[in-house]
Amino acid sequence: MVDTHPVAGAGEGMLAEEERLDPVQWIKFYWERHADDDPYPFLAMSSVLRLHQLMTSILEQDLKQSFSLNLTDYLMLKTLQMSDTGTRLLSRVAWHLLVHATTVTLAADRLESRGLLVRRPHPRDRRATCVSITDEGRRLVDDATSALKEGSFGMPGLSPEQARVLVELMAPIRKTAGDVDRTH
């Protein structure tokens, strides 16, 4: 197969080898050649989506190999662990994880069968279900968190200062997009 992408040295306006290998730089190069508007909003979206995919892949692999968890299972346990009482409404866990209630119910089934959480009916609302992390769940999520921390939570090379800046940059974007709990 012949590579038809223009490369450096072939003339002005050509894509350098390093840029050709970086998918976001490749998009930028061709966007600027074929569009007359600012490429950076699209590049920002592409960068975030690509990072999410790469980060999720790293986290899923680490969690599965070492702890027999998937990312939803881990985040569910971590959400319960960080709550004041270790107990949350199943619907609130779904909201926090940005997943459908069915996904959280299936995760609760898996985690409950392993003794990592327990499910109970809500004491006053018989339509609602509460989930609580067990001591075994706390130990496992602590071990998993330590392991993920060693791998920079799926973002290798990100310093603590860069992580802080990233969180600060994303906060107003998340808020404007609606990522604020207005129900409580």
Q: Which amino acid is at 172?
A: P
Dihedral of CA 105/111/115/116: which sign?
A: negative
Contact (Cβ atoms closer than 8 angstroms) between residue 58 and residue 45: no
Q: Please check whether residue 101 is in contact with residue 93, taking contact to mean a CB–CB distance below 8 angstroms.
A: no
Distances (CA, A) of 167 to 29, 32, 98: 28, 29, 18
Domain boundaries for CATH 1.10.10.10 within the chain:
69-148
pLDDT in the model for residue 105: 95
Residue 184 has pLDDT above 80, yes or no: no
Residue found by looking up tokens 């969180």 in the block: 167
Under the banding of pLDDT at 50, 70 and 90, the label for residue 10 is very low
Closest CA to 142 of 96, 51, 85, 74: 74
The pLDDT value recorded for residue 102 is: 94
Residue 50 has pLDDT above 80, yes or no: yes
Model confidence pLDDT, tens digit, residues 67-89: 999 999 999 999 999 999 999 99
Query: What mean pLDDT comes out for the span 163-168?
Result: 95
The predicted pLDDT at position 171 comes to 94
Q: Tell the CATH topology of 69-148.
A: Arc Repressor Mutant, subunit A (1.10.10)
